[in-house]
Every structure is written in C-alpha cells, then in structure tokens.
C-alpha cells in the first residue's frame, strides 16, 4: 500500500509568517499533486508536478518535487488568513493510476 | 474545464436504510471514477475504483457488499450505502479521471455529507 505522510499535521501561524509543508513516501509516483480543501467541499487542485527536482510557483506558493519522485514540499510565503484550509498532497501511480492522498496538513492563519 | 457533479450534497437517513450518491462528469467522458471517504479533519481515504462497464475494485478493508458501486455509463457512477448505520456517517467524495495528453487529470465532486441517525 502506498502511503504519503505529511508533516506537520496541524499548523497555526500568524499572518505574514512563512511555512513549509512536507509530503513523504517510500514509493515512487508518476506525478504528485497538491490540493487545498475547505470544510464541506471537494479538494481543489493547486498544482501537479511530474519531473523529479521540478519546482513550480503559484503566487506565494512554491512547490517542489523530490529528485527521486518520492517526496514533495509546499512553501507558503507571507501567509494570509485566506490560506487557511486543509492541504493535501496526492500521488498517482501504479497500473490503475489511482490517486492516493497524504495524511493532510490543517493550516490556520490568524489575522 | 472539466466539471463533476455530485448529488445529493447532504443526506440524512435512518439507520438500516440505503442511500444512493450520484457522480456525473458533465462535459467529458470518464472511464474511471474514484470514491473517497473523509472523516472530520482527516484526509481522503480511497474506497474503490469504479470502471465503466466492469466491477469496481475495492481497497483493502472496504466492504463491497455494503458500498455498492455501479458505473453503467461513461458519465455516471453511483455509490449506494446499504443498510446504513451511524458509523457510516461521513463525507463521501467522488473523482473522475480523464486523459490529458500523456497524463491523467482528476476532477472532484463537491462531496456528499451523509448523516445516519
């Protein structure tokens, strides 16, 4: 079974602070995605990374895929209250390309 | 862009009854759909992979006789929770997979909040 461990599990910070969320696995994935989810809604795709070592930026968010395609990180610069939510990494792979989600990181940004 | 419609968004049912949740891909064909379950403040747990025209593939620990999945067309998959009990109360989310170039894209429904009383 593919497992994706995220850390930290919970994070409460002040507006303006920086943070990094990690997503680690012992399995190799053909692609890895990051999602943000609000309560009572489906997850919303933020980014897809497919190449080992790849770095993608989305405004204040920076995503990195590990060289071995087993891990990834999400860095948020100058966090804002609107960034509050559940952040999920998800890896796709295997014969069926099913999407397996990480354990999740619940972020709260205080104004 | 690709849109997945999931209904109902909320349902309350009595213990022992069955509930059907629908997942439709509105503007694309999805040969494969996935069903997830999510408890409060936790991640999404994959329950099963639904393939059009064939039997669903269930993840370890998921009872196939309790969570019936039907994927009769390229745009519709249904999940039926049979003989529901309070412990089945959860947030259920579907996802449809579509080929985009050499990669796959995954589009999620907005989820169904099931409460069994």
Select from A41, A44, A88 the Cβ nearest to the Cβ of B44.
A88
Q: DSSP letter at B86?
A: G
Q: Which residues of B touch A106 (CB under 8 A)?
A: 41
Q: Please choose, from the candidates B114, B108, B81, B76, the residue with its C-alpha nearest in 3D space to the C-alpha of residue B94.
A: B108
pLDDT of residue A97: 77
Distance CA B75, CA A28 (A): 31
Residue B103 to residue A50, Cβ atoms within 8 A: yes
Distance CA B47, CA A98 (A): 11
What is the Cα A23 distance to its own chain's centre? 6
Give the rounded percent of residues in chain A with a pLDDT score beyond 70. Answer: 98
The mean pLDDT value for B31-50 works out to 93
pLDDT at residue A96 greater than cutoff 80: no
Span A22-61, pLDDT tens digits: 999 998 888 899 999 998 899 999 999 999 999 999 999 9
Distance CA B6, CA B112 (A): 7
Q: Phi first, then psi: what are they for B94, rounded to 5°?
A: -105, 160
pLDDT at residue A1 greater than cutoff 60: no
Q: In chain A, whose CA is at the least distance from the CA of B93?
A: A42
Span B46-76, pLDDT tens digits: 999 998 888 899 999 999 999 999 998 889 9
| Cα dihedral sign, A83-B23-B89-B117 | positive
Q: Is B113 on the interface with A (CB under 8 A)?
A: yes
pLDDT at residue B95 greater than cutoff 90: yes
Q: Is B84 on the interface with A (CB under 8 A)?
A: no
Distance CA B114, CA B117 (A): 10
pLDDT of residue A2: 58
pLDDT at residue B103 greater than cutoff 90: no
Residue A40 to residue B45, Cβ atoms within 8 A: no
pLDDT of residue B102: 59
Q: Is A21 on the interface with B (CB under 8 A)?
A: no
pLDDT of residue A85: 95
């Amino acid at each position: 079974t593919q497992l994706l461990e995220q850390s930290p599990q919970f994070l409460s910070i002040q507006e303006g602070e920086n943070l990094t969320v990690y997503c680690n696995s012992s399995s190799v994935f053909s692609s890895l995605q990051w999602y943000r989810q609000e309560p009572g809604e489906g997850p919303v795709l933020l980014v897809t990374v497919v190449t080992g070592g790849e770095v993608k930026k989305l405004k204040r968010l920076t995503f990195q895929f590990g060289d071995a395609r087993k891990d990834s990180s999400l860095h948020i610069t100058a966090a804002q209250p609107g960034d509050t939510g559940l952040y999920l990494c998800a890896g796709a792979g295997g014969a069926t390309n099913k999407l397996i989600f990480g354990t999740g990181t619940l972020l709260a940004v205080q104004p | 862009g690709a849109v997945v419609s999931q209904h109902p968004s909320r349902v309350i049912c009595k213990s022992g009854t069955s509930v059907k949740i629908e997942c439709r891909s509105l503007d694309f064909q999805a040969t494969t759909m996935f069903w997830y379950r999510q408890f409060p403040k936790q991640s999404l747990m994959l329950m099963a992979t639904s393939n059009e025209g064939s039997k669903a593939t269930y993840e370890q620990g998921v009872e196939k006789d309790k969570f019936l999945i039907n994927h009769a067309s390229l745009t519709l998959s249904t999940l039926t929770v049979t003989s529901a009990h309070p412990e089945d109360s959860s947030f259920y989310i579907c996802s449809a997979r579509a080929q985009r170039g050499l990669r796959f894209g995954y589009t999620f429904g907005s989820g169904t909040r099931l409460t069994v009383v």
